[in-house]
Structure 1
């Protein structure tokens, strides 16, 4: 593949490929170029983003409702619960698959980031099930819970175990959808600001506490304080999980330039450092998913 230094030249070529209905060729040209520029030229990256957004390519990309929603942020931020439902395939708001937006939608909602988010949901469901195996009436605390779609993949929920799902979110619309979606689960919705959790003004007793997408928006100082607060919530034998996108996520360039979806990313070592003030920090286990997208930190309180 020939290297292109000009943002406008790249955008011209990609738009021509899209207009020729060579959508996958176009996407496979655009994503790696943006990824490379984002990581190798951080000083020049803002100018490239400005040039790209001034190009007619952006309007074509925004025919995809997933990309369009992130950019325009109807709820004030890019990664809202409706965005996640697009990645989960749990929405009826999708374009005709043969339309330009529909063809692009098939790519964006199956990108490495989207696949990683689906895998993250499965990991949360497994975390819930482990807690329910230890204690049938386990209390699960989800920070920035969104629509709580992991409940739909939990075996404990399917068996009707009497778990309590404490859903903390700043968005009452998301909490309302969660309650409607899982009427058979004992849900305790809490409309709250995460700052109240960080300061300790809002706290819970939990067998499991997790924050799946929250740390992507927290600076280090707040993230470390929240990690410590989460550990304090746990009952003996309880587990806490944090997840964070990594700096070299394959979609990072497209997300920032075309979706205006900006994250605070962390390496595995940086996620581990968030546990420095947690008792016995060496108990934390970190790993990265198979999509090169999300790093996890798992800590358990001794029994």
Structure 2
């Protein structure tokens, strides 16, 4: 989680630097908002707008409370991602804790849906646990079953969604446990 936060901070900083005025971010399955809070605390909230979508109202309430000082920059939507729709387009779409619960078909369907919300040259960053996750056995022992995907698998799924090689990049945090599929529109 700590490494994922650092990666989110880097992605947000890069996006804000490339789009200095009115940067739009969509945070899918935003959860309790800890990553958002820490990133805004470091980067600052000026000219940054984050739309958060989560189906868990308790997570949204927690995030609203945690991010109170940045509440004018954040919009929370209590909705299942499959029922979410917006006319807004985004410089960055971020989702780090959702796609490793999806089978390949649902993974691709969600990527295709979210890609419609990207601005030209916008980026979508999708987190997924790597098969090299050293805690996988412990997680599964506790019935926390995720779909771990390799770099090659993530790249293949992106291609099946219509993305070309030059639009696809696979990155990872420094321990290699979390992979990130980075798609550029």
The CA deviation at 1:275 is 1.0
Counterpart of 1:221 in structure 2 is 105
Relative to structure 1, the CA distance from residue 155 to residue 188 in structure 2 (aligned partners, 3 Å threshold; closer, same or farther) is closer
Match of 1:192 among 76, 79, 82: 79
How many pairs does the alignment contain?
A: 180
In structure 1, distance between residues paired with 2:27 and 2:166: 24
TM-score (norm 1): 0.55
Pairs within 5 Å for 1:230-269 = 230-257=114-141, 259-269=142-152
Counterpart of 2:95 in structure 1 is 211
* Greater RCO, CA 8 A, separation 6+: 2
Relative to structure 1, the CA distance from residue 160 to residue 286 in structure 2 (aligned partners, 3 Å threshold; closer, same or farther) is closer
Higher normalized helix content (fraction of residues): 1
Higher normalized strand content (fraction of residues): 2
Unpaired runs of at least 5, structure 2: none
Kept after mapping to 2: 8 A contact 1:227/1:274: no
Kept after mapping to 2: 8 A contact 1:250/1:292: no
1:297 aligns with 2:181: yes
Aligned-partner SS, 1:274: helix
In structure 1, distance between residues paired with 2:115 and 2:163: 8
Question: Considering only CA atoms, is the larger Rg found in Structure 1 or Structure 2?
Answer: 1
In structure 2, distance between residues paired with 1:161 and 1:234: 21
Counterpart of 1:125 in structure 2 is 9
In structure 1, distance between residues paired with 2:49 and 2:42: 10
Kept after mapping to 1: 8 A contact 2:163/2:183: no
The CA deviation at 1:147 is 1.7
The CA deviation at 1:153 is 3.1
TM-score (norm 2): 0.88
Relative to structure 1, the CA distance from residue 162 to residue 180 in structure 2 (aligned partners, 3 Å threshold; closer, same or farther) is farther
CA deviation vs aligned residue, 1:156-177 (integer Å, no higher than 9, x gap): 8643313111110000111111
The CA deviation at 1:231 is 1.9
CA deviation vs aligned residue, 1:134-185 (integer Å, no higher than 9, x gap): 1332111011000222223326864331311111000011111111111232
Match of 1:151 among 22, 25, 36: 36
CA deviation vs aligned residue, 1:33-72 (integer Å, no higher than 9, x gap): xxxxxxxxxxxxxxxxxxxxxxxxxxxxxxxxxxxxxxxx
